[in-house]
Structure 1
């Protein structure tokens, strides 16, 4: 168990007991009352008590700026020891990160859910350490469904017929389809998976954005939801996720794809929520979309051993559950997931947990993904506009992907 730590114990690692680790982390809270600052400060204090001589300087920043802030720090030669942010792959390209096996003890490494640890790999070496996970489900307003005499949809045809029934009942937005710039790459991936496709080929991890399955998925959305006026007054390409969620919480949306935080917000707003896996063409989708945020340790400060000790502590079951339980997220480790499944306090997350083992993450290990994601956000809304050939739009995004790959 101590093999990795022993091998790491050379250089400026802090073994002399005089290390201060700089941690930059994202804030998952909605205000001072539930700021992540409280979690990290308490965890750092506990760690320092158990590890005399190692201090942790906690710096929690808004999600709006934290990725850019860390990038600026690295560029200035002032990289933090550890960052908890949205993406890691660009730093692997810069040879800026320690690998997982240079940091963590073997039990910690082996405890990550396989699909999450795989998503943290570049060239089969893990650099990104999944911090929290989430999956997506189809949400529906139970009150609106009851009034229209509907049950939860199981297929795409059900989604269409339910949306028509909701429209007939006067529901403003029977199905919210946010393909605006805020989070279009996630909404797109959910639909691609439910249509039997995805962003990449399983065999060689190459992009397959304009595959036949993906084109057919967007043709269906264009014709059967958007074309029939079932997606509300705002065009999908102009609709951001935040606006769709706000409308759902106001009782104006019949169905949309959502995550655990929306469940919590809707319940506070008095909306009774039903949740099912996103239906596929003829039944349950082969997989749901998974999402993970990441931790990483930078080589620049040179505190490998101390950083590894801290990260092993971060991924202990108690600390993992303390964080995910506060923000309605999912654990990234097998043992913490088992503990959550057995604890009635987390019963409302069970459907998300059930979807996690078969979930598929975006291709975050590709350093080209950031550019491809931007192209999707900018362009995908056009694919469902009246009179547009979805194949043309997906083909243009696919060409952007080829260009982005070639530039890496």
Structure 2
């Protein structure tokens, strides 16, 4: 998944990018073709089956699984391109990155992957540049800062597919039952602990949901780092995982929330979706969430509110944003067919259908403007606004995929009873530095 945001205002640096710019104008009309990009006329000759692996944004096994979305898109595409079939396999965020990594390692890379990181594959020369796949109008329609975040050495390989920001979600009904003002969510760590303690006293099963399991660990970790004024990298893109700010955040979590029994048991083995499901059952008082949780909570008639993430001493100065990435692998030589399908998938109609269905934020100017006009998505407008100051994972670092995997394995140990945040974060820092050196 995929993908962090900036500290003090005005900071600009390589890996943690400010969001949004204005997309190039005049190029987002009728889809055209370039000499290198394919398009609607490229599917001549024998039939080709493209293998695609994608992440699931819906409820696992539910009617809104992303498998359903991609099946609809691939069927519609094949009607227009009878010689190209697209076989899409959708996996949970727990498994999808590893699934693709294993396929590549076996020499069986998919043609298309929609996952959380691209830079390591680009560094190994396994990906097509976006300009070799997409028509000019489609590539130009990406929001500029996201397109830039998809670059390795100024060449775009990662094509943004979905984005989101994070806010604090809280159950207004549980707040009222605990004697808390349902219109006054906590703004600081101190207020967060006070609210969690009141919820616990009122019998709430999970006062604060802390998902540090493999599904959400890098994101939840980054949100807590940002809330302390820290982050994964500094202003020039150097890893700062074991900074004093980050150690302070996890020491506070260990002592003031987890140690006081104010979170779910075993945060290091708890996944995001499990807590989302519990929130919708009325068992969680507060947790950090993205726009998709609104849809799930609405289906279960949960009365909830959202707020800026609480920080150390006041509201967090930075919001976390996540971008997930589409990429085309070279191995099977299906450049033209991959490009034709991606042009189709990124059309305003199809890309907006995805954002609309899963309450995600669009990555193209056309779809973003359409969402701004859609009053049915008024609740998402505040998430769109948060993108202006959002910080993202250092996805352009070749080392990030390995660092992210290590965070998933070990960050939960930092908040265990007797755990040492300084030691855990220090170990992650050393791992990140070693991966950076190896990538150079």
TM-score by length of 1: 0.87
| Kept after mapping to 2: 8 A contact 1:209/1:398 | yes
1:297-316 CA distance string (max 9 Å, x none): 12233333443233222212
Q: Are 2:56 and 1:24 equivalent residues in the alignment?
A: no
- Listed as ranges, the matches of 1:6-405 within 5 Å are 6-8=35-37, 14=42, 16=44, 18=46, 20=48, 22-26=50-54, 27-29=56-58, 30-31=60-61, 33-48=63-78, 50=80, 54-63=83-92, 66-75=96-105, 77-147=107-177, 148-150=179-181, 151-203=184-236, 205-232=237-264, 234-405=265-436
1:30-62 CA distance string (max 9 Å, x none): 437434444334434444555x57523232332
Which moves more between the two structures, 218-227 or 336-345?
A: 218-227
Q: Secondary structure at the match of 1:296?
A: strand
CA shift for structure 1 position 341: 1.8
Alpha carbons of 1:96 and 1:235: their partners in 2 closer, same or farther (altered >3 Å)? closer
Q: Distance in 2 between matches of 1:223 and 1:68?
A: 33
| Kept after mapping to 2: 8 A contact 1:222/1:386 | yes
Q: Distance in 1 between matches of 2:251 and 2:359?
A: 34
Q: Distance in 2 between matches of 1:190 and 1:279?
A: 10
Q: Which runs of 5+ in 1 are unaligned?
A: none
Alpha carbons of 1:189 and 1:6: their partners in 2 closer, same or farther (altered >3 Å)? same
Q: Secondary structure at the match of 2:311?
A: coil
Q: Secondary structure at the match of 1:130?
A: strand
Q: Secondary structure at the match of 1:199?
A: coil
1:206-234 CA distance string (max 9 Å, x none): 211011211222232233323443225x1
Q: Which runs of 5+ in 2 are unaligned?
A: 1-26
CA shift for structure 1 position 254: 1.3
Q: Distance in 2 between matches of 1:373 and 1:236?
A: 17
Structure with the larger helix share: 1
Q: Distance in 1 between matches of 2:95 and 2:141?
A: 30
CA shift for structure 1 position 171: 2.5
Alpha carbons of 1:78 and 1:373: their partners in 2 closer, same or farther (altered >3 Å)? closer
Alpha carbons of 1:39 and 1:243: their partners in 2 closer, same or farther (altered >3 Å)? closer
Question: For this pair of structures, how many residues does the alignment match?
Answer: 402
Q: Secondary structure at the match of 2:314?
A: coil
Q: Secondary structure at the match of 1:6?
A: coil
| Kept after mapping to 1: 8 A contact 2:84/2:337 | no
| Kept after mapping to 1: 8 A contact 2:42/2:340 | no
Q: Distance in 1 between matches of 2:429 and 2:156?
A: 27
Q: Distance in 2 between matches of 1:167 and 1:15?
A: 60
1:220-265 CA distance string (max 9 Å, x none): 2233323443225x14334333333333222222111112232222
- Give the aligned partner of residue 34 of structure 2: 5
1:99-137 CA distance string (max 9 Å, x none): 122222333223222342233222222101111122221
Which moves more between the two structures, 321-330 or 295-304?
A: 295-304
Alpha carbons of 1:56 and 1:191: their partners in 2 closer, same or farther (altered >3 Å)? same
Which moves more between the two structures, 248-257 or 21-30?
A: 21-30
CA shift for structure 1 position 157: 2.5
The CA RMSD over aligned residues, in Å, is: 2.8
Q: Secondary structure at the match of 1:357?
A: helix
